[in-house]
Structure 1
Amino acid sequence: MTENEFAIQIREAGGTLYIVGGWVRDKLMGKDPHDKDYVVVGLSKENFAICFPAAKLIGNAFPVFLVKIDGISCEVAFARKERKVGTGYTGFEIVAHEDITIEEDLYRRDTTVNSIAMEVLTGKIIDLYGGRRDIEDKILRPISKHFSEDPVRALRVARQATQLGFEVSEELIDAMKDCREELRGEPSERIFGELKKALETSKPSVFFQVLGKSELLETLFPEIYALIGKTQPVDFHPEGDAYNHTMLVADKVAASTDNVVAVFAGLVHDIGKGVTPKEMLPHHYDHEKKGLDVLKSWNKRAKFPNQWIRAGSLVIEEHMRAPLMQKPGKITELILHLHKMSSYLPPEDFCHIIRADHGQLPKYLERYTELRDVLLSIDGNMAPEGVRGKALGDWLWQKRVRACAQWLKD
């Protein structure tokens, strides 16, 4: 069934099909939009199910159907209204029936640029709140005073500002501030979801800057907030405190790779500096060891994927040593360790982080692949006959270290 056929059947049943939200926004911005969100007006879910018996009903809070449109399984919702009756994202009384208009449905949304609808059959744009103007002005504004009723909207605004490159209006910043208390109780997976999307953008620092301006950074990401004001030696870090440095590194890594895990690892590389005692500043002795503890503590609350934790831990442990290594044994150890950890963090992404942090790479990391291949070309099958067990391990290690030393000389 094509989209047009679907819309015609809905019209013949007495309803109207709209596309709403981000797809319409991106279309108006001249982008190639993805992931259409459909809304049906003027049709009950019972009549919809009769018209489309193959549609699968999903969703607990309000009816949503999965429908195969143009060969893709799409979510189709019904126009709805909601009333705040509790806390958090579940604290709403939701009403979805055929008498609710598209205007009422759009009013419950978060920002003006996301509250635009397009009628599928006619292409008519429904823009009641100045969304097209705000797209042109590149600014995010709230629809109404109801914005803060769903606290995660504040996170989404910070993420949208990052993705779209839009400013956030002062009115919206104030509305975000009102979300602070309820955000404390939000499920970790919702917070992680928005963080992940922000780290996938080309400039993730905007996400944290918007949260800082709206006084939400300390509530949501206290480990990042703790870096603010942690001064550093100016000779090495003219960009400012540990927070400014971290934002700079995260942006540089994001510009170098599409791997969100690498951007996260760059984000947390100096996280141990947040617990440096004031009297020790501007120095941050042992911040690598402290950083592992901070990340472990953060993970208890955030429940990051294992790959994120393994990659973050690797970078925290090695980001200070790696640029300074000169001894063949230490270099051999790190090269083999990076190879072993490549399923968690590709070595080229490790190098992106070190370059972002230090400005350059040592020779052995610039030519990582070449040195790795030299070391791996030496294996146990080359050992003298009769060498077994620990002796074999010692022989292999010594051979590889010598090969590394020779490679460094060449």
Structure 2
Amino acid sequence: MNEMEFSQKIDDLGGTLYIVGGWVRDKIRGVIPKDKDFVICHVKEEDFKQNFPKAKKVGKSFPVYLVKIEDKECEVAFARKERKTGIGYTGFIVDYDEKVTIEEDLYRRDTTMNSIAYRVRDGKIIDPYKGREDIEKRYIKAVSHHFKEDPVRALRAARQACELNFKINEDTVNLMRACKEEIKSEPQERIFNELQRALKTKKPSVFFRSLVKADLLEILFPEIYALIGKTQPVAFHPEGDAFEHTMEIVDLVAGMTDDVAVRFAGLVHDLGKGVTPKEMLPHHYGHEEKGLAVLKAWNKRMTLPKKWLQGGLFVIKEHMRAARLGKVGKIVDFLLIVEKNPLGFAGFNCVILADSKSLPYYLADYHSYLQKIHSVSMKNCPSNLKGKAIGDWIRNEQIKLFKQNIEVEA
């Protein structure tokens, strides 16, 4: 069954089939649209089930069915209205009978650019809330005051601002701010999902700056908020406080790699500066060790992916050492440690390069140095050596080869 055949069957039942949401928005923007979300109006659920017996119901609070259209399982929802009765995204009474219009369904949605429908029958655009106009202006604008009824919409608006490079209009910022109390009760999984999607964008800093503007950063990501106002030595950090530095680094790292774990490491590399005592500013002595505790506390509140946590902890602990090492023995040891880190050399180097604006010679050419280090084999170890002496011999040989490599390059 293709899309038009499905639409015709819905028409035959006295209803209308629409595509809504991101697919319509992206089509209007001239961007290749992704998955389609279908909405049906003016059809009773019983009649739908009778005519589509193979459709699988997946919605709990309201009817959503999986229907095979053009060899792909697509989500098909019934148009619905919602009335707020409780806290969070589950605190709604839903009405989805056949009398609900597409305009009523669109009205309950978050922003005008997401409240546009495409009528499958003839390709007509249904845009009662001027979403096309806001797309043209590059505005993120709430459809109505109902925006604040699902507090995670505030996070979504911040994330879409950096995904689309749109501005959030002031009225919508105020509605985001109105989510401040209720958002405290939201499941951390929903908050993490928006963080992850924001870190996948070209400029993740927009997400955090949008939350600052709406007075939400302190509640959602207190570890990042704590960096605001933490001054740094101007000679080394002309960009400003630790928050400004962190925003610069996360954007620079995002420009170097698509690996979200590495981008997260860039975001958290200086977390320890957020707990620096005022009397110590603008210096941040020991912020590496302090940062480890801060990230572990973050992980207790919001369980992070293993690679994110381990990679972040490694970068926090080791990022300051890279530029300070001079003795060959310590450099050899450091290379062997970095080799085992979850982000790999490529990921670790992205953060160091963004933070220091250059790489130490041994990180820039780590392939060559590692090759020399790993060429040392126990097979060549003198037979009279035992226990710790074997390890000492291996390390001395690695240092010797490392020095030879430097001399050859010189």
TM-score clears 0.5: yes
Matched, 1:270 2:270: yes
Gaps of 5+ in 1: none
Return the alpha-carbon distance in structure 1 between the equivalents of residues 312 and 328 of structure 2. 25
Q: 1:371 to 1:136 in 2, by over 3 A?
A: same
Matched residue type, 2:354: A
Matched residue type, 2:364: E
SS of aligned partner of 2:330? helix
Matched residue type, 1:353: V
Conserved? CA contact 1:364–1:408, under 8 Å: no
Counterpart position of 1:28? 28
Cα distance per residue 1:31-69 (max 9 Å; x no partner): 011121111112222222222222211122212111222
Matches within 5 A, 1:335-374: 335-341=335-341, 344-374=342-372
Cα distance per residue 1:229-258 (max 9 Å; x no partner): 000000000000000000000000001111
Deviates more, 1:367-376 or 1:230-239: 367-376
Q: 1:10 to 1:235 in 2, by over 3 A?
A: same
Matched residue type, 1:364: Y
Matched, 1:224 2:221: no
Cα distance per residue 1:362-388 (max 9 Å; x no partner): 111111222222222223333334655
User: Normalising by the residue count of structure 2, what TM-score does the alignment of the two structures yield?
Assistant: 0.97
Matched residue type, 1:284: H
Q: 1:51 to 1:372 in 2, by over 3 A?
A: farther
Give the Å deviation of 1:334. Answer: 1.9
Counterpart position of 1:182? 182
Deviates more, 1:67-76 or 1:177-186: 67-76
Return the alpha-carbon distance in structure 2 between the equivalents of residues 226 and 109 of structure 1. 33
Return the alpha-carbon distance in structure 1 between the equivalents of residues 291 and 248 of structure 2. 18
Return the alpha-carbon distance in structure 1 between the equivalents of residues 387 and 102 of structure 2. 74
SS of aligned partner of 1:256? coil
Return the alpha-carbon distance in structure 2 between the equivalents of residues 170 and 31 of structure 1. 26
User: Normalising by the residue count of structure 1, what TM-score does the alignment of the two structures yield?
Assistant: 0.97
Counterpart position of 1:66? 66
Return the alpha-carbon distance in structure 2 between the equivalents of residues 377 and 88 of structure 1. 59
Q: 1:408 to 1:120 in 2, by over 3 A?
A: same
Counterpart position of 2:403? 405
Give the Å deviation of 1:335. Answer: 1.5
Cα distance per residue 1:84-139 (max 9 Å; x no partner): 00001111111212211111000000010110010112111000011000000001
Return the alpha-carbon distance in structure 2 between the equivalents of residues 59 and 381 of structure 1. 64
Return the alpha-carbon distance in structure 2 between the equivalents of residues 21 and 382 of structure 1. 66
Matched residue type, 2:244: N
Conserved? CA contact 1:55–1:65, under 8 Å: yes
SS of aligned partner of 2:323? helix
Return the alpha-carbon distance in structure 2 between the equivalents of residues 380 and 51 of structure 1. 73
Counterpart position of 1:39? 39
Give the Å deviation of 1:404. Answer: 2.0
Counterpart position of 1:121? 121
Deviates more, 1:89-98 or 1:203-212: 89-98
RMSD over equivalenced CA pairs, Å: 1.3
Counterpart position of 2:171? 171
Return the alpha-carbon distance in structure 2 between the equivalents of residues 100 and 388 of structure 1. 82
Matches within 5 A, 1:238-257: 238-257=238-257
Number of residue equivalences: 408
Identity percentage of aligned residues: 56
Matched, 1:233 2:248: no
Give the Å deviation of 1:391. Answer: 3.5
Counterpart position of 2:103? 103
Give the Å deviation of 1:75. Answer: 1.3
Give the Å deviation of 1:326. Answer: 1.6
Conserved? CA contact 1:15–1:42, under 8 Å: yes
Give the Å deviation of 1:221. Answer: 0.6
Q: 1:382 to 1:144 in 2, by over 3 A?
A: same
SS of aligned partner of 1:394? helix
Cα distance per residue 1:282-337 (max 9 Å; x no partner): 00000000000000011111111111000101110111111222222221122112
Counterpart position of 1:209? 209
SS of aligned partner of 1:66? strand
Return the alpha-carbon distance in structure 1 between the equivalents of residues 384 and 126 of structure 2. 81
Matched residue type, 2:379: N
